[in-house]
Amino acid sequence: MAEDALFSIFMDGIFIKNFLLIQFLGLCSFVGVTKDVKSAAGMSGAVVFVMAMASTVSYMIYTYILVPTNMQFLDLISFIVVIAALVQLVEFVVRKNIPSLYRSLGIYLPLITTNCAVLGAVLLNENAGYNFIQSVVFGIAAGLGYTIVMLMMSGIRERSTFVNVPSAIRGLPQAFFIALMLSMAFVNYFWVIPI
């Protein structure tokens, strides 16, 4: 039974509550980094790591520090501090080990700190009352859902350079139109699957 619940949470995080296409969280990086697949993959890897670690650390802080001291009102501030620290760690590692990825991500890597998808995952964990394992599973699943959509979007945007698109629609309008089609596909396909 517990495995069924974890599988349900996992599928929920990837498809049903997809942050980019269903809840529309984290759109700044979605539109900005999906111009090529390599940058989208690097950004997605960083977001998966930050989401998983933020879910883990935030659960511990909330459960073992904020709740026993009756300071749950500090949850948002503590979650933001955790996310900022994790993003600094990711930025340091990427800059030292993969400088080309660091340059291609540009301003979007530090913007993970303010990426509402990461904070949304942590807050959804808290609001759903998930235990530790469920929080980690949802954090990883939400990151994987983010990755799937980022890679789909970047692949479509790369291929669309070979299509004759009117100049009025090129760029940002075209990206939003592609996002609209992907969102409609996710809503119509994945909401009918009973989990």
Query: Each residue of 112-155: pLDDT tens digit?
Result: 777 888 999 999 999 999 999 999 999 999 999 999 999 999 99
56-95 pLDDT, tens per residue?
A: 999 999 999 999 999 999 999 999 999 999 888 888 888 8
Q: Identity (one letter) of the amino acid at 157? A: R
Cβ partners under 8 Å of residue 163, min gap 6: none
Rounded CA Rg of the chain: 17
Measured in residues, the chain has a length of 195
Mean pLDDT across the chain, nearest whole number?
Answer: 87
Give the pLDDT band (50/70/90) at residue 1: very low
Q: What is the pTM of this model?
A: 0.86
Determine the Cα–Cα distance for residues 137 and 24; give it in Å rounded to an integer.
21
